[in-house]
Structure 1
């Protein structure tokens, strides 16, 4: 037997105002679209904003459904919309923010497992890393240079 050590590194920003201007603008759009989330069951609202290499911004918010598997997370709403409207564009940056209707979300909220796998698909397809910034409602923002920091053992088409 042998052990494998996996190390990931994140940059931490103390507030939205500390982000680079383009990322700050993207995060503000994610915060705005978060308010459009349809979250009557979880009361947990998520907003995502993607910056594409063509300069377009694509937004998404979580959309729940009484039949839980039928809903979609904000990240996948945005990614799938970008893939549908701009199939040749690459995702450069992703900004994610989450907030609860019942308490203040202070910790950075990363993408769930399903969203990580969906982001992985696009990162592998475009053969370029996607910078991911994520936060709660307030407080610190974490930056990952690539999805590989969040999902080091990615499953992709090479395994099929």
Structure 2
């Protein structure tokens, strides 16, 4: 039996087309990316997480000379939220990357490890997480759930 997967997402020419309420998340993710510790790759990633209570958590990638001991921006933000705001649902995550390794018009999507953490976060809170990916020139992809970019997560039903 053959089955078909469908991916749903929205594409915007610029993040300023998003509701004003999400502009602050983009700004916070941008600030976080600028403070990333990426001396080896100069690939700076920022993430901003909006919690159900209105709290915004930011994270950025943290490289380490003993590769792969670093950690991605998404997991920094999600793990901080889980450790410091247990039981508070994550509503939205914004992810963006900066640097010469990233094309100006390219939205960088979460790596496999970050996708898996997002999948487990959704499963644990029994609520989808809105994912907003922003390129350096403002192009934006919006996913209503990690299920649209990770179709067969490990151990999550």
For residue 15 of structure 2, what is the aligned residue in structure 1?
Answer: 16
Q: Assess, with a 3 A threshold, how the Cα gap between structure 1 residues 103 and 5 changes in structure 2: closer, same or farther.
A: closer
Q: Assess, with a 3 A threshold, how the Cα gap between structure 1 residues 40 and 85 changes in structure 2: closer, same or farther.
A: same
TM-score by length of 1: 0.93
> Structure 1, residues 2-23: CA drift from partner, whole Å, max 9, x if none?
3221010110111121111121
Give runs of aligned pairs for residues 85-100 of structure 1, distance below 5 A: 85-100=84-99
Residues of 1 paired with 2:3 and 2:66: CA distance?
Answer: 40
Q: Mark the runs of 5 or more structure 1 residues left unpaired by the alignment.
A: none
Q: Assess, with a 3 A threshold, how the Cα gap between structure 1 residues 103 and 131 changes in structure 2: closer, same or farther.
A: closer
TM-score by length of 2: 0.95
Q: Secondary structure, in 3 states, of the residue corresponding to 1:69?
A: coil
For residue 70 of structure 2, what is the aligned residue in structure 1?
Answer: 71
For residue 123 of structure 1, what is the aligned residue in structure 2?
Answer: 122
CA RMSD in angstroms comes to: 1.3
CA contact under 8 A between 1:23 and 1:95: conserved in structure 2? no
Residues of 1 paired with 2:7 and 2:14: CA distance?
Answer: 22
- The list of structure 1 runs, each at least 4 consecutive aligned residues, that deviate by more than 6 angstroms after superposition, is none
For residue 109 of structure 1, what is the aligned residue in structure 2?
Answer: 108
Q: Mark the runs of 5 or more structure 2 residues left unpaired by the alignment.
A: none
CA contact under 8 A between 1:98 and 1:105: conserved in structure 2? no
Tell me, yes or no, if structure 1 residue 54 matches structure 2 residue 57: no
CA contact under 8 A between 2:32 and 2:60: conserved in structure 1? yes
